[in-house]
Structure formats: C-alpha cells, structure tokens
Amino acid sequence: MHHQLFARAALLNRTAEERLSYSLLYLYKACMSIMAETSNKTLSIDNMNPNIKVMQYAVRGPLVIRATEIEKELEQGVKKPFKSVIKANIGDAHAMLQHPITFIRQVLATAAYPTLMTSDLVPEDVKARVNRLLKSCGGCDVGSYSNSVGVEIIRHDVAEYIRKRDGGIPSITDNIILSGGASEAIRSSMKLFNSKVDGKPPGVMIPIPQYPLYSATIAEYGMYQIGYCLDEDNNWALDISVLKRALEESRAHCCPRLLCVINPGNPTGQVLTLQNIQDIIKFANDEHLFLFADEVYQDNIYDPNSKFFSFKKVMTEMGPPYSNLELISFHSSSKGYMGECGLRGGYAELVNVDPDVVTQFKKSISAKLCSTVLGQIAMDCVVNPPKPGEPSYDLFAKEKAFVLKTLGQKAKMITDAFNSIDGIKCNAVQGAMYAFPRIFLPPKAIEKAKERGEAPDFYYAWNLLENTGVCVVPGSGFCQKEGTFHFRTTILPPPDIFEDMITRFKAFHTKFMADHS
C-alpha cells in the first residue's frame, strides 16, 4: 500500500506541493479503506442470530467474570478487605476441593490406559469392570466413537439402575440415550418441540425460580417461556392453580406443549412430596403436556423427612391414563456424591415417547457423532457402583457416605445461619446443592440499584463480592416472583471455608442494611 502510494506520487511530474497533496489524498483513501476493512465485518452484532443475543446464563454471568478478575488482582497484590475469593456460584464440587470417588477414577484411568490391567495399583473388580466395558467399545478401546446413543452395555446398566431404583418397573435399554452431561440431553430433547402450531411458537413451562439452562435454551430456540411461580411460603411446592393460571395466560402467545419440573429443586433445594408429584402428573395429563423431569439431584436428599420419588415411578403406579404420559427424565454424573462435572456424563430416559419421534431424536444426535466415551464410563460407575463383597466396595461406600453426610451438615448449617440474620429468610435445603434465601432489601438499596440500572439483588450480590470476595448468583438470574429478591449460594465449599463464608456474609449483610436504611 505504502509503496504504491509513494511510487505514484513520485512518478507524477509535479511540484512538491502537488506531490504532497496527492500523497495526502492517497493516504486518506488508504486509511478509509483500512477502516472499511476493519469495521465492515460480514458478521456483526446487528446481523447475527438474534436469539443468541437475548439468551442469558447467569451462573456464568458478569459477577463470575468479576470474581475471576478479583482473584487475579489478589494474586498481583492489590489490597482488598479479604484475602481470597469464595466461589459459591456454581455446583462444581471438585473445584471446591471435594475428593473424587477413588473407584470412578480407577475405572477411568484403567479404561484410558489398559496397561494398568497388569499392575496392582487398581483392584481386581476395577479390572473386571473395565474389561466388560471395553468389550462393548469399538476395537475394545475408549478412543473409538460409540453409537450416537451411547455404548450399548452402559445403556443397559442405566436401564437396570432405573428398574431397581423404581422398585422393578421396567426400563428399556433402547429408550436410554447417553449424553455429555444432562444439559446436552435437555437441549437435544427440547429441540424436538420446536415447531410452530397455528403460527404460534411452542410454549415451555418452567419453574420460577428456575435453572437458567432452561430460559437460555428456550431463548436460543426462539420458543415461548411460560413461567410458573413456585410457592416460597410452602417450601417451593408447585401450586396447581398457579400452573393452571400461567398456562391459560400463555395461550394468547404460544401453543403450550412441555412442562419442565426440577426435583430436587435448583436453585430452590426443595424435594417434592409424593402428593405434589401426583398432582403435577394429573395436571400434565389433563392439559395434554409432555413432561421433562430434571432429576439430576436424585442422590442429594438431606432432610430425613424427604424422599426422592421419580416421576416415572409415580405416574406408573397411578395407572392409566397417567401411566401413559410422555416423559423424558434426566440424570447426570456431575452432581450427587460423585460431582464429576468435568467428565460430562449424563443420560435421558424416554418414556411413552412416540416411536417415530424416538427415531427422529436418535437421527438428530447422529451428526454430533457421540458423547465422550470416558464420560459415559463415569455414568456407568454411578448407575452400577461396587457391590458389597467386591474389593472396591468398602472404600466406595465410605467415600460416598462421607460426601453426603458433609453436604447434609452444611445444608442444615446454612439454613440456620441465614435464618438467624435479620432481613433474610431461607427455606430448608431438603436436597440438591443450593440455598436460595430471600433478602428483604430496604427501599434505599432498591433505589440505588435502579440508579445504576441494575436488578436490586444484582446490586446486593455485587457489593457482597467487592466487599467480602464471596461470589453468589443474584436471584434475578434465575427469575423470581416480582418484587421479591434472592440469591443462590451452593453448599459446596469445604467446612472451614464454608464457615468463613458465613462469617463474611453476616458482617456484610449487617453493614449493607445499615448503610441503606
């Protein structure tokens, strides 16, 4: 560019002034051309997928980005009124120093590197299990693609797990689809519904508050979100009259097709009662809705008076017509006592789904080839753990019990701690991994937040982070009943950090309330 410019100017047999003028003209044109090149992108915020622009996922939103920045600032020696960041924003057990279950890791290591079969570093039952799993992999190796629906023997083990869990109600291997975490299965399943009916988008009922995977996916697919408020005063139960009203009000905007229920609840930590589940099933049947049961926290029950009932078991025992309800249930290796988030294991069970739709579902995931085989193997360890008498059993049982006991203690500790603070009210954490306390913010805090263009609980959580290093997710990221404010915190930090977190929190809250009164 420069060469051309000066060559052209030099070649012209003109005065110095004219040459300068030409040079300036060319320089100007060159600059304009570069600017056009750099700003005139073919893909810009104005012409990109509009659905992606509106989707939000608060669990990894601006507060989390700021928390990471603060961590770096602390490393660089920036002075803060705290010495560490406590990330209580995401259900990520191992990041919170929970020890992995030895058995799962031995199986993974041996499957990845079968030379370990000849070592005494792994017990015999691990070797036998890996042998059995590898026989079901292409070329007896985890480096081969599996079928898109997953490794056959693992799907079989999942079906067997469900059958036993549900007291003998049959589960069919062919209806099990393994996936890269439950999220992937939920997204693929929801995609099936994306068809306009009478020009209206499909409507998806989700709890308010909800896990933002749902709102994000609905937005991305351009579907219509039908929120139904959980009853905070009744420990986040589903009030059928509220469901009914939300459904009726939505009909002007969409064709309602799908009801999503999260049990145990995220972010709300409740465990649904048998009666409540039966009522929900009746409602879905009466309203001709397809049901998604997000049951990834089925192992995380802490309240001795609560029990996990799978939607499949309840509806099957209710008999026709309820036992014919179309249902997809989801589970994961990321939660429970194992907390293997990074391995990306999960599954969906399809119940009463139209066989033609099942065929289309399986085809739709085939272009993605398959989910990670090592993640599938992690899922196998969860659904088919060591049995009493096997060499790995004692350690496995001990590790599992320890994790669940510790989580149970923290579930109680956090509820008690929050409820001892003025201006905070927290339902019992019966299950899952979260508390979702309500904060009664003074008008001055709400005003200040409005001035800054922020949701009031975002303003609260931002201040909490900047002043204490504790990172939680504002309730607005999960949606909440209008005029109420909350935040979600996990119960995952290890006991000493957990106590530190509560101490920091109490001090902050008292000062915040005083500053804004």
Tokens coding 51: 């659905």
Q: x/- contact string, 312-351, with a second copy (CB under 8 A)?
A: --------xx--x-x------------xxxxxx-------
Residue 85: what residue type? V
Contact 146, 137 (CB under 8 A): yes
Binds a second copy by CB under 8 A, chosen from 5, 117, 242, 353: 353
Binds a second copy by CB under 8 A, chosen from 163, 187, 200, 282: 187
Binds a second copy by CB under 8 A, chosen from 66, 80, 94, 244: 94
Q: Work out how close the CB of 398 gets to a second copy at its nearest, in angstroms, rounded to a whole number.
A: 17
- Using CA of residue 318, residue 319, residue 324, residue 328, what is the dihedral sign? positive
Nearer to a second copy, 356 or 451 (CB): 356
Nearer to a second copy, 232 or 500 (CB): 500
User: Could you tell me the CA-to-CA distances from 30 to 13, 25, 27, 116, 130 in Å, in that order?
Assistant: 22, 9, 5, 64, 64
Q: How far apart are CA 295 and CA 80, in angstroms?
A: 40
* Residues contacting a second copy: total by CB under 8 A: 100
Residues from 363 through 402 that contact a second copy (CB under 8 A): 363-364, 366-375
User: Could you tell me the CA-to-CA distances from 102 to 139, 395, 406 in Å, in that order?
Assistant: 27, 8, 18
Residues from 165 through 184 that contact a second copy (CB under 8 A): 180-181, 183-184
User: Taking CB under 8 A as the rule, does residue 7 contact a second copy?
Assistant: no
Q: How far apart are CA 114 and CA 141, in angstroms?
A: 9
Q: Work out how close the CB of 105 gets to a second copy at its nearest, in angstroms, rounded to a whole number.
A: 4
Q: Work out how close the CB of 61 gets to a second copy at its nearest, in angstroms, rounded to a whole number.
A: 8
Q: Work out how close the CB of 116 gets to a second copy at its nearest, in angstroms, rounded to a whole number.
A: 7
Q: How far apart are CA 381 and CA 376, in angstroms?
A: 9
Classify burial at 87, counting beta carbons within 10 Å of its beta carbon; exposed 0-12, middle 13-18, buried 19 or more.
buried
Q: Work out how close the CB of 395 gets to a second copy at its nearest, in angstroms, rounded to a whole number.
A: 12
Residues from 395 through 434 that contact a second copy (CB under 8 A): none
Q: Work out how close the CB of 332 gets to a second copy at its nearest, in angstroms, rounded to a whole number.
A: 11
Q: How far apart are CA 126 and CA 123, in angstroms?
A: 5
Nearer to a second copy, 22 or 221 (CB): 221
Q: How far apart are CA 490 and CA 472, in angstroms?
A: 8
DSSP string covering 237-250: BPPHHHHHHHHHHH
Q: How far apart are CA 476 and CA 125, in angstroms?
A: 48
Binds a second copy by CB under 8 A, chosen from 153, 157, 185, 193: 193
Residues from 31 through 60 that contact a second copy (CB under 8 A): 33-34, 37-38, 41-45, 47-53, 55-57, 59-60
User: Taking CB under 8 A as the rule, does residue 16 contact a second copy?
Assistant: no
| Nearest residue to 69 (alpha-carbon basis) of 449, 342, 461, 471 | 471
**Could you identify the residue written with the tokens 């044109």?**
29
User: Taking CB under 8 A as the rule, does residue 289 contact a second copy?
Assistant: yes
Q: Work out how close the CB of 171 gets to a second copy at its nearest, in angstroms, rounded to a whole number.
A: 19
> Applying CB under 8 A, which part among 69-77, 154-162, 266-274, 358-366 lies near a second copy?
358-366
Residues from 224 through 283 that contact a second copy (CB under 8 A): 257
Q: How far apart are CA 465 and CA 315, in angstroms?
A: 44
> Applying CB under 8 A, which part among 169-177, 210-218, 309-317, 459-467 lies near a second copy?
210-218
Residues from 98 through 157 that contact a second copy (CB under 8 A): 98, 100, 105-106, 108-110, 112-113, 115-116, 119, 121, 137-139, 141-146, 148
User: Taking CB under 8 A as the rule, does residue 207 contact a second copy?
Assistant: no
Within 273-392, residue ranges assigned H as helices are 274-286, 311-318, 355-366, 373-383
Distance of CA 288 to the CA centre of its chain: 27
In 144-196, the DSSP E strands lie at 176-179
Residues from 216 through 235 that contact a second copy (CB under 8 A): 216-217, 220
User: Taking CB under 8 A as the rule, does residue 356 contact a second copy?
Assistant: yes
Q: Work out how close the CB of 230 gets to a second copy at its nearest, in angstroms, rounded to a whole number.
A: 21
